[in-house]
Structure 1
């Protein structure tokens, strides 16, 4: 009976090995997918689970094929996985309509595929450590970066978000991950026929954090365009009353 290698277990039966790999890849993809889903990213729970599972299966099958066919090369399959993930990552960036946003989402997709490949090679513990590291980066780097910035350098920022349909709650959730208080938020219907809306938000934020916030907002599915400019502290009250 055919066998495959699993870290710390050595050679195990084919079906037992596949079972371990499938379950591990699904769980690790789910963990990263949940983090992205709760942050309202376009590549969420299902996408990350499928990417991790697919990369795992392609890698595992290529290793089996290399044992059966003398000319088979598992490295070629790994290279094709990386190429295919490149297209998915490019799609995550292009989705934001020309703005340079979605880089974190694209990088996460790339890393999830790498995690799946590590599982497929038979190293579930290494893949788990890798996943925990990715989650730590996604969770804590932003807050640490914010703490290192000086409060005195913060400015009032006016965000203008054009969307198809209401995105007020989704936008508030993303913005409140970066700031403690939203000074003003109001929505105007630009085109009733197409349900286009313009959401205006005034917040206080460090200038270097603005591009990262723009990237986060640009990945919300219904958002079509995001603009910003720096305003004085009095501008938001005047604008909302006009």
Structure 2
């Protein structure tokens, strides 16, 4: 295969990866257009080298080639890159979809590098359309993470406010820890708030702060 066709495959792979990256970027995710573009082009390049870079060794005695071995390492190697986009904070996980997108982008790059144009383009279209559809279906599921620091006496009052709130609140977690400065026992309540109404969030923060035992409330 000519080197110009190889270059065409790299360009096509980069364009397809950039499409997925643009969708992620439009939703303010950690890995955006540039990251997906580089992953796609790099994967396609590795696949080209794996498939065509060792033809001068074919036919030599005691030499056997397995083009799939190098490509297989791309799939596992991208896993480390995807792990960097996953954020675990107080048992809440973010970035899984972006990590999966990077992994899929690597697969698209491998497909285009191998000359499988239709599967590569088809996968890109399915991923972009699927992400957009599911984003719209889950637009009402946008949530904020709330944290309230308080003393142990205020746990029941704070939980009552969260339980009786008109907003959807889930994943309520209560963690006890000792204050490093005075070694007193403190409590942190962490929760998810599902709403787009900022006034509702402000009202709940005010209600929590009315509890004498609550030191501070943060919702982001």
Larger radius of gyration: 2
For residue 100 of structure 2, give the secondary structure of its aligned residue in structure 1.
helix
**Cα distance in structure 1, aligned partners of 2:70 and 2:107:** 13
Counterpart secondary structure, 2:76 = helix
Looking at structure 1, the residues matched to 39 and 108 of structure 2 have their Cα atoms a distance apart, in angstroms, of 10
Q: Is the 8 A contact 2:14 2:40 kept in 1?
A: yes
Q: Does 1:24 align with 2:12?
A: yes
- Distance in 1 (CA, whole Å) between partners of 2:48 and 2:81 is 21
Instruction: Go from structure 1 to structure 2 and tell me whether the alpha carbon gap of 1:238 and 1:161 turns closer, same or farther (over 3 Å shift).
Output: closer
Return the TM-score normalized by structure 1. Answer: 0.58
State the match for 1:151 in structure 2: none
Q: 1:20 to 1:234 in 2, by over 3 A?
A: closer
Q: How far apart, in 2, do the equivalents of 1:203 and 1:108 lie?
A: 35
38-47 vs 121-130, which deviates more? 121-130
Instruction: Indicate the residue corresponding to 2:185 in structure 1.
Output: none
Gaps of 5+ in 1: 4-13, 148-153, 163-201, 211-225
2: CA distance between counterparts of 1:203 and 1:131? 40
1:117 aligned partner: 110
Report the equivalent of 2:94: 101
Secondary structure of 2:84's aligned partner: helix
Q: Secondary structure at the match of 2:191?
A: strand
Query: Matched residues in 1 for 2:67 and 2:6: separation?
Result: 17
Alpha-carbon contact 2:44-2:113 (below 8 Å) kept: yes
Deviations 1:1-29 (A, max 9, x none): xx2xxxxxxxxxx1221121021011101
Q: Is the 8 A contact 1:65 1:72 kept in 2?
A: no
Q: Does 1:53 align with 2:41?
A: yes
Is residue 92 from structure 1 mapped to residue 85 from structure 2 by the alignment?
A: yes
- The answer for the alignment partner of 2:146 in structure 1 is 160
Aligned to 1:131: 124
Cα deviation code 1:20-65 (max 9, x no counterpart): 1021011101111111111111111110000000000000111113
Q: For residues 101-140 of structure 1, give each alpha carbon's deviation from its aligned partner in whole angstroms, at most 9, with x where no partner exists.
A: 2211111111000000000001223211110000111110
The superposition leaves residues 69-100 of structure 1 with CA deviations (integer Å, 9 ceiling, x where unpaired) of 2323211101110111111122222x445643
In structure 2, do the counterparts of structure 1 residues 102 and 20 end up closer, same or farther at CA, with 3 Å as the change threshold? same
Aligned position for 2:180: none
Secondary structure in structure 2 of the residue aligned to 1:100: strand
8 Å Cα contact 2:20-2:124 kept in structure 1? yes
Number of matched residues?
Answer: 165
Pairwise mapping of residues 92-241 of structure 1 onto structure 2 (< 5 A)?
A: 92-93=85-86, 95-97=87-89, 99-144=92-137, 159-160=145-146, 204-205=167-168, 227-229=190-192, 236-237=202-203, 239-240=205-206
What is the TM-score when the length of structure 2 is the normalising length?
0.63
Q: The residue matched to 2:146 in structure 1 has which SS?
A: strand
**Which sections of structure 2, spanning at least 5 residues, go unmatched?**
59-63, 149-164, 173-188, 210-220
